[in-house]
Amino acid sequence: MNLLHIDASVLGDNSVSRQVSAAIVERLRAADPTLTVTYRDLAADPIPHLSGLHVAARMGAEVPAQIQREHLAGEAALEEFLAADIVVIGAPMYNFTLPTQLKAWVDRILIARKTFAYGPNGVIGLAAGKRVIVAMSRGNVYDGAHAAAEHLESYLRTVFGFIGVTDLEFVAADGVQLSPEHRERALKGALETVGQLRAA
Ligand SMILES: Cc1cc2nc3c(=O)[nH]c(=O)nc-3n(C[C@H](O)[C@H](O)[C@H](O)COP(=O)(O)O)c2cc1C
C-alpha cells in the first residue's frame, strides 16, 4: 500500500496541521509497517502555478525548454497521487481557504482522463478507491455565524468528490487563534480524533 503525505503550512514547527498530519501518518504506519510513504512538502518545495504553456503541454503540445522542469514536477505530483492508496493532507486555512501552494497541487491532480472524465452523462470521477484524510487547522470556528466564510473544508470536499473519492475524512483543529487555551484544546482534540481513525 502506498501512502502520500502532503503538508502545505508555511509555519514549520509552529504548524498545527503539520503536527496532526504527522500523527495520522504515524498511526497508519504503526498499524501497517509495510506502508510505503512518500512525503511532499509544498511549502519547502512549491509546485509552480499553472501557465498557458503548462496547460498546453499537459494537452500534448511540445514542452518548451523553459518549462521542462516545471512540467516534470507537475507530472510527478500527478503520478504520486495516482499511485497512492491513502493520501494524508495537512491543510491550514489561509484567508478562508487553502494555501496557494496546496491549490497549485490541486491544479496538477485534477486532470481530465486521469482523475476525472467528461462524458455524455456528465463528469465521472476516476480516483475512486483512494482513502483521503485531511488534517485541517483553522484560526476561527466556522459553525453558526461564520459558516458562509468557510471555503477550505467545503472546497476540498468538492475537489475530492469531483474526482470520485468517497472515503474522505477530516480531522479538524479549530479556533487555534482564539487563545492559547483554544489552540491547546484544539490540538489535543484533533490528536484524540487521530487515535480513533480506523487503522486500515
Ligand atoms: C496567512 C494566514 C492567513 C490566515 N487566514 C485565516 C482565515 O482566513 N481564517 C481563519 O480561521 N484562520 C486564518 N489563519 C489562521 C490559521 O488558519 C491557523 O493559524 C492555522 O493553525 C494555520 O495552520 P498551521 O498551524 O498548520 O499553519 C490564517 C493564518 C495565516 C498565517
Instruction: State pLDDT tens for residues 111-150.
Output: 999 999 999 999 999 999 999 999 999 999 999 889 999 9
CB-side exposure of 158: number of CA atoms within 13 Å?
Answer: 10
Q: Is the CB of 17 under 6 A from ligand 1?
A: yes
Of all protein residues, the one whose alpha carbon is nearest to atom 23 of ligand 1 is 92
Residue 103's CB is within 10 A of a number of other CB atoms, namely 17
Output the pLDDT for position 55. Answer: 87
CA distance linking residue 58 with residue 62, whole number of Å: 9
Q: How far is the CA of 142 from the centre of ligand 1 (A)?
A: 13
CA distance linking residue 195 with residue 191, whole number of Å: 6
Of all protein residues, the one whose alpha carbon is nearest to atom 12 of ligand 1 is 139
Q: Is the CB of 92 under 6 A from ligand 1?
A: yes
Model-wide pTM > 0.85: yes
Residue 171's CB is within 10 A of a number of other CB atoms, namely 23
Of all protein residues, the one whose alpha carbon is nearest to atom 16 of ligand 1 is 139
Of all protein residues, the one whose alpha carbon is nearest to atom 2 of ligand 1 is 94
Instruction: Strand 167-174: give its sheet, edge to edge.
Output: 36-41, 2-7, 86-92, 131-138, 167-174
